[in-house]
Amino acid sequence: MAKSGRDEPEGRPTGHDVARAAGVSQATVSLVLGGKWQGRVAPRTAENVREAARALGYRPNLAARSLRTGRARTALLVVPALTNDFFAGVYTGAVEVASAHDFGLVLYPSPEGTAPARDPFASARAALDGVIASSMAVESLAELRAGGLPLVMLDSDASDADAAVNFDVADGMRQVARHLLGLGHRRIAHVASAVDSWTFTVRAHALARTVREGGGSLVRTERGELSVTGGLEAATRVLTETGAAPDAGRPPRGTAPPTALVCDDDLLAAGALKAARRLGLRVPEDVSVTGIDDVAVARAVEPELTTLRLPATGMGAAGMRALLGVLDGEKEGDRETVLPVTLLPRASTGPAPTG
Amino acid sequence: MAKSGRDEPEGRPTGHDVARAAGVSQATVSLVLGGKWQGRVAPRTAENVREAARALGYRPNLAARSLRTGRARTALLVVPALTNDFFAGVYTGAVEVASAHDFGLVLYPSPEGTAPARDPFASARAALDGVIASSMAVESLAELRAGGLPLVMLDSDASDADAAVNFDVADGMRQVARHLLGLGHRRIAHVASAVDSWTFTVRAHALARTVREGGGSLVRTERGELSVTGGLEAATRVLTETGAAPDAGRPPRGTAPPTALVCDDDLLAAGALKAARRLGLRVPEDVSVTGIDDVAVARAVEPELTTLRLPATGMGAAGMRALLGVLDGEKEGDRETVLPVTLLPRASTGPAPTG
DNA sequence: CTGAAAGCGCTTACAG
DNA sequence: CTGAAAGCGCTTACAG
């Protein structure tokens, strides 16, 4: 193991050290390295300063800069979980826009999942100019608001935020429902998220309504945590308790069995696929399954999932742009962005079984 | 949309505001809120201060604190990608230990994947006390070292770090190879990572050696990027070009077809499963497949993957502990931790086909 | 074109 | 038991 660089001769070099080496004042160093020297410092002097800074390995102390300027050019992105690649997309999109505006982006996965984030500020510890929160439950708003920082909400109930970016999930659910109705499905079950956040409430309403309007019926809703296991358990309940699975050994309880399972995300849908297989049902011949998100698992499983592509990267980018707008004191318009979603029909859905 | 809290009457309250409200000096406020008042400030006064701070919604300015103390109590965790839940585990473990020691942990997913991280410090922008880097390629070391901060490497070549935590991947690969040899497999192919970092080099060596010593042979190595698609492509090449797939329509090129595919991670293995299926091969009857990591996708696919469970959370925790040790000036011993790994036999491996 | 100086909001000896 | 003061390393008017 090499030695740590901490105990170098003079410790970490400061602007004064650079100034001494370049034979100028510390103020000049600041001007040059801050890129504000044009017309104020001789080009030759500026070059000397840069040279000295390089030689010493100088890096400005961010704490000092941020204390002085009162801003950190840093935003915090709060997400519920890292176990879903969806948030990788959100981060990627946001960080790209942030970088382009010379902003830093600190990622904070809330340890409580979609539940209230326990003081993300304490954990992030960075000096922050604003917060972007993705897919958080309403209860976390108070905590997030506590910092008094500008707040942009993503894929969430945004009534208390400074700006919002959402997917058109209602339209998405309509697309899913119409896709299934078009395939002849009339009895549909909803494998829903156990977490009751805004986006899932909207999904449930849009699904119920579209199915009803299309002449079908939502025969059952079972909730599961957003994981493969959660989906497996919830879908198993749906399939056995409605009598959809012939081998289940449990009598139907009067409900007609569903021919399609609409799942609130791809992880749940992957679990539903497993449930069907274990109960001896073929997908999509006996039962169709749909997901939402289009994360990697959607194409990892067999059959590949018919799902809704939600533009995660676009949402992250739009969220960062919205935050920048709020920070610039942008007028109150343009504060709510809605991103379209696309249905991706794949092999997990097919014509409803006849008979 | 509600108004942002930015333009409150007096702006964000400082320690002086609290002092004024409580009728004490700013120094006393600092003492009380910093928990260093015992025996220095009257309990009654302390209570008044806390009350005033609460009433004003005071939060200490972290930039000022960090400038004054010279430390930030914050570490940076650099990971290559968020598209693998493995790193969610690493983060979770590290953040737990960090919190217990009142440390913050900033997550930085390197935009270049396992390639050199382009100045994570600029992006993180936080004042940092140390860096933990997981599964990064050697080339990124220079960048990471540039900050002069204590560095802990995870699952990487650690020769230039202050401390290291690694999995016993060599032993793991041996377990995988022996498992397959025990099932009668003699011709094994390696679906390897296209990224050539330390951990993958170790895996390749251990696999080749164990297979050879067990009387088998490594008939082919194909590399793919660490994703389902990468695995699908690499495994398709292995299966068609060795003549393993009868329907492939390509003549064997003199190489005996493998009966087992050892993949460098679960994503690659999930892709291999798809490749086999598309080529009309049954898993595990015609070909066995193994993964590494035991992330969610390992149990999402069918058949579920025989894989190596790498304790990601444990590695994150050990990494943070190691960093804390380095920061405390701990003696040079105990700087290299090796974590054991476990083989999880599941349905994707079975007896080698006879004949 | 360059420098001296103020001040951001804290923590921490040091007086009293 | 409490306060006045120094100083962390920057940025930014302000002089010259």
- Does pLDDT of B305 surpass 60? yes
Mean pLDDT, range B323-352, rounded to an integer: 89
Rounded to whole angstroms, how far apart are CA atoms A84 and A97?
22
Q: Of A232-236, B115-119, B263-267, B289-293, which range is least confident? A: B115-119
B296 touches strand C (CB under 7 A): no
Q: Does A105 touch chain B (CB under 8 A)?
A: yes
Between B219 and B138, name the one with better pLDDT.
Answer: B219
CB contact residues (below 8 A), chain B span 158-177, against chain A: 158-164
Yes or no: say if B242 and B219 are a contact pair by the CB < 8 Å rule. yes
* The pair of three-digit structure tokens given for residue A35, joined into one six-digit string: 């890129």
Rounded to whole angstroms, how far apart are CA atoms B144 and B196?
18
Yes or no: say if A247 and A279 are a contact pair by the CB < 8 Å rule. yes
- Does pLDDT of A113 surpass 60? no
Average pLDDT, chain A: 87
pLDDT tens-digit readout, B193-251: 998 889 999 999 999 999 999 999 999 999 999 999 999 999 999 999 887 766 555 55
pLDDT tens-digit readout, A136-170: 876 777 777 766 789 999 999 877 789 999 999 99
Rounded to whole angstroms, how far apart are CA atoms A134 and A315?
9
Chain B residues inside the 8 Å CB shell of A88: 81-83, 109
Yes or no: say if A261 and A290 are a contact pair by the CB < 8 Å rule. yes
* The pair of three-digit structure tokens given for residue A297, joined into one six-digit string: 């698992």
Yes or no: say if A258 and A188 are a contact pair by the CB < 8 Å rule. yes
Separation of A283 CA and D6 C1' (Å): 74
Chain A 44..63 CB hits on strand C (< 7 A): 45-46
Q: Of A116-125, A329-338, B183-192, B235-244, which range is least confident? A: A116-125
Yes or no: say if B355 and B259 are a contact pair by the CB < 8 Å rule. no
Please tell me the distance in Å from B18's CA to the nearest CA on chain A.
16
Please tell me the distance in Å from A202's CA to the nearest CA on chain B.
19
**Residue B121 — very low, low, confident or very high, per pLDDT cuts 50/70/90?**
low
Nucleotides of C under 7 A from a protein CB: 1-5, 7-13
State what percent of residues in chain B have pLDDT above 90: 59
Q: Does B2 touch chain A (CB under 8 A)?
A: yes
Q: Which residues lie closer than 8 Å to A100 by C-beta, 6 or more apart?
A: none
B41 touches strand D (CB under 7 A): yes
Please tell me the distance in Å from A239's CA to the nearest CA on chain B.
18
- Whether residues A296 and B297 touch (CB distance < 8 A) is answered with yes
The candidate with the shortest Cα–Cα distance to A157, out of A171, A138, A131, A139, is A138
Q: Does B301 touch chain A (CB under 8 A)?
A: yes
Please tell me the distance in Å from A347's CA to the nearest CA on chain B.
14
Q: How many residues does chain A have?
A: 355
pLDDT tens-digit readout, A302-313: 999 999 999 999
Q: Which of B108, B126, B229 is closest, CB to CB, to A62? A: B126
pLDDT tens-digit readout, A5-43: 333 445 788 999 999 999 999 999 999 998 888 888 898
Rounded to whole angstroms, how far apart are CA atoms A208 and A211?
5
Q: Which of B74, B150, B228 is closest, CB to CB, to A300? A: B228
pLDDT tens-digit readout, A310-324: 999 999 999 999 999
* Conformational region of residue B250, where left means phi above 0, alpha means psi within -120 to 50, and beta covers everything else: beta
Q: Which of A107, A161, A273 is closest, CB to CB, to B107? A: A107
Q: What is the H or E stretch that residue B106 is in?
A: strand B104-109
Yes or no: say if B306 and B344 are a contact pair by the CB < 8 Å rule. yes
B341 phi and psi angles, rounded to 5 deg: -125, 160
Q: Does A330 touch chain B (CB under 8 A)?
A: no
Q: Which long-range contacts (CB under 8 A, 24 or more apart) does B145-150 make?
A: B145/A5, B146/A57, B146/B119, B146/B121, B147/A5, B147/A59, B147/B121, B148/A4, B148/A5, B148/A6, B148/A8, B148/A12, B148/A57, B149/A4, B149/A5, B149/A6, B150/A4, B150/A6, B150/B323, B150/B326, B150/B327
Q: Which residues lie closer than 8 Å to A137 by C-beta, 6 or more apart?
A: A114, A115, A116, A156, A195, A196, A197
- Whether residues B2 and A162 touch (CB distance < 8 A) is answered with yes
Q: Does B9 touch chain A (CB under 8 A)?
A: no
**Residue nearest C3, CA–C1′ metric:** A25
pLDDT tens-digit readout, B145-196: 766 789 999 999 877 789 999 999 999 999 999 999 999 999 999 999 998 8
Q: Which residues lie closer than 8 Å to B45 by C-beta, 6 or more apart?
A: B22, B24, B28, B32
Comparing alpha-carbon positions, the chain A residue that sits nearest to B334 is: A1
Please tell me the distance in Å from A115's CA to the nearest CA on chain B.
16
B228 phi and psi angles, rounded to 5 deg: -60, -45
Mean pLDDT, range B82-87, rounded to an integer: 89
Between B58 and A192, name the one with better pLDDT.
Answer: A192
Q: Number of A:B CB contacts under 8 A?
A: 205
Give the pLDDT score at B262.
98
Q: What is the H or E stretch that residue A146 is in?
A: helix A140-146
CB atoms within 10 A of CB B258: 26
For residue B189, give the 3-state DSSP assignment: strand
Give the pLDDT score at A116.
39
**Residue B332 — very low, low, confident or very high, per pLDDT cuts 50/70/90?**
low
Give the pLDDT score at B252.
53
Q: Does A256 touch chain B (CB under 8 A)?
A: no
State what percent of residues in chain B have pLDDT above 70: 87
**Closest-lying nucleotide for A34 based on CA to C1':** D11
Give the pLDDT score at A110.
79
State what percent of residues in chain A have pLDDT above 90: 58
A33 touches strand D (CB under 7 A): yes
**Residue A255 — very low, low, confident or very high, per pLDDT cuts 50/70/90?**
low
Q: What is the DSSP letter of A73?
A: S
Q: Does B62 touch chain A (CB under 8 A)?
A: yes
Average pLDDT, chain B: 87
Nucleotides of D under 7 A from a protein CB: 1-5, 7-13
Q: Which of B1, B66, B104 is closest, CB to CB, to A124? A: B104
Chain A 57..86 CB hits on strand D (< 7 A): 58, 60-61, 64-65, 67-69
Comparing alpha-carbon positions, the chain B residue that sits nearest to A161 is: B1
Domains parsed from chain A with CATH numbers? 5-60 (1.10.260.40), 72-167+313-338 (3.40.50.2300), 169-310 (3.40.50.2300)
